[in-house]
Structure 1
Amino acid sequence: MQGEVVSVTGELLGWRNDAGMLATYLKITGEAAQDISAHELHARITSGKRRGFGSVKVEARIGESSWTTSVFPQDEGWFLPVKAAVRRAEALEEGTTTSAEITLL
């Protein structure tokens, strides 16, 4: 399962906290979310422990930009945080539809 690549296309969503800080993320649903959930379950069973917040370590790629991060479970799916440097390099902003390739680590 390690090294499996899942592809996702969706709208970049924004989340703001009480201080107004913005995090931008890509919501992962459908078959891609099921693949990530299966990977997380397999990793939890084989290691005997759960990563923080149930996260899964990944390498993500949008356009020419790639970075290592984690995806986190959210409302029957997962979310992929998209760094500001990636958004700048790929000319992305909240509300933009984009595609990502996610390698499960």
Structure 2
Amino acid sequence: MPPPSPPLAEITFTGEVIAWRGPAPYVFVALPDETVMPVRVAAREASYGWGVVPVAVWVGDVAFTTSLFPREGGYLLPLKVAVRKATGIDLGDRIAVRLAVVAKNDRA
């Protein structure tokens, strides 16, 4: 297997943890407006359909993979229950996030 390619986009931001009625787990962080265009450009190579964008994410010392959900012209980052428990994150918290959009051929 070849080594993974560099990420298509790397983004660091701070955002508020919100609830959103929609797909589980219902808890998200909205990406700030200034991060939407770099994700949208990277999504051309990374998205596997339905507009979702696969990402590797770091919140504190916890790393995980998920997909960004397109919503109202931007993206929502779902926060898994296991991540929230491990980091003590709750609704309304402002958290620092680092994420990398990865190429299709670098996903397991």
What's the Cα RMSD here?
A: 2.0
Q: State how 1:1-105 maps to structure 2 within 5 Å.
A: 3=7, 4-16=9-21, 23-41=26-44, 43=45, 51-105=48-102
Kindly report structure 1 stretches of 4+ aligned residues shifted beyond 3 Å. none
Q: Percent identity?
A: 26
Aligned length, in residue pairs:
96
SS in 1 for 2:36: helix
For 1:55 and 1:2, locate their aligned partners in 2 and report how far apart those are by CA, in whole Å.
Answer: 20
Deviation at 1:51, TM superposition (A): 2.2
Unaligned runs of 5+ in 1: 45-49
> TM-score, structure 1 length as denominator?
0.81
Judging by fraction of residues, say which structure has more strand.
1
SS in 1 for 2:88: coil
AA aligned opposite 1:38: V
Unaligned runs of 5+ in 2: 103-108
> TM-score, structure 2 length as denominator?
0.79
Q: Retained in 2: the 8 A contact 1:29–1:76?
A: no
